[in-house]
Amino acid sequence: MLYEGDNGYVALVAEVDVDQEAATVVATRLVVAQDCGPVSNPDGMRNQIEGGALQGLSRALGEEVTWDDRKVTSVDWRSYHSLSLGFAVPRIESVLIDSHQGEAMGAGETAITVVAAAVGNAIFDATGVRIRQVPFTPERVRAALTARGTTGDSVSPR
């Protein structure tokens, strides 16, 4: 769970499939609970949660700013890898906590802040391998699996 500025509280659990042969991670389900105080527009809040979760997933699985010794090198869509159009969107379950004890807080994109940690924990649950650098690219997943000596089988969450 995380308190993110004035955007309230958020918690997220991720379920992933890890193909250890290809060293790929696919999120299959995200469950996000958010408390931003009184909820005046439940549909709008769900939209914020879902959009934030997907943007966070893109950051967790592919987005990375790269540079050489002089400049940023991830300057276009070939070199900066966000989730592509048509990717397998995970099922997203939003839990709205309609809290009336305090004042209203923002709900904008708060879920972004917790996705990478939840995906990293799901990878660990599926493989027993901890990866601590995002994004969780196939190269990083493969390196972690190889270091642990566990490549070869496709594993789903326990």
Q: What is the pLDDT of residues 99-124, one digit of tens each?
A: 888 788 878 788 999 999 999 999 99
CB atoms within 10 A of CB 38: 12
The gap between the terminal CA atoms of the chain, to the nearest Å, is 22
Which pLDDT score, from 0 to 100, does residue 145 have?
Answer: 95
Sorting pLDDT into bands at 50, 70 and 90, what band is 157? very low
Which pLDDT score, from 0 to 100, does residue 150 have?
Answer: 56
Does the pLDDT value for residue 3 go beyond 60?
no
> How many structural domains compose the chain?
1
Longest dimension (CA), the chain: 52
How many CA within 13 A on the CB side of residue 74? 9
Q: What is the pLDDT of residues 22-70, one digit of tens each?
A: 999 999 999 999 998 899 899 999 999 999 999 999 999 999 888 999 9
Which pLDDT score, from 0 to 100, does residue 85 have?
Answer: 83
**What is the mean predicted confidence (pLDDT) over 119-140?**
96
Sorting pLDDT into bands at 50, 70 and 90, what band is 80? confident
CATH number, residue 46: 3.30.365.10
φ/ψ (deg, to 5) at 103:
-85, 165
Query: d(Cα 44, Cα 31) in Å, to the nearest integer?
Result: 17
CB atoms within 10 A of CB 34: 27
Greater confidence (133 vs 151) lies with 133
Residue 40 gets the label, from left (phi > 0), alpha (psi -120 to 50) or beta, of: alpha
The domain in which residue 139 lies consists of 2-155
**Are the CB atoms for 25 and 57 separated by under 8 Å?**
no
Which pLDDT score, from 0 to 100, does residue 58 have?
Answer: 95
Average pLDDT, the chain: 88
Residue 115 gets the label, from left (phi > 0), alpha (psi -120 to 50) or beta, of: alpha
Question: What pTM was computed for the model?
Answer: 0.85
On the question of a cis peptide bond just before residue 135, with omega within 30 degrees of 0, the verdict is: yes
**Are the CB atoms for 6 and 124 separated by under 8 Å?**
no
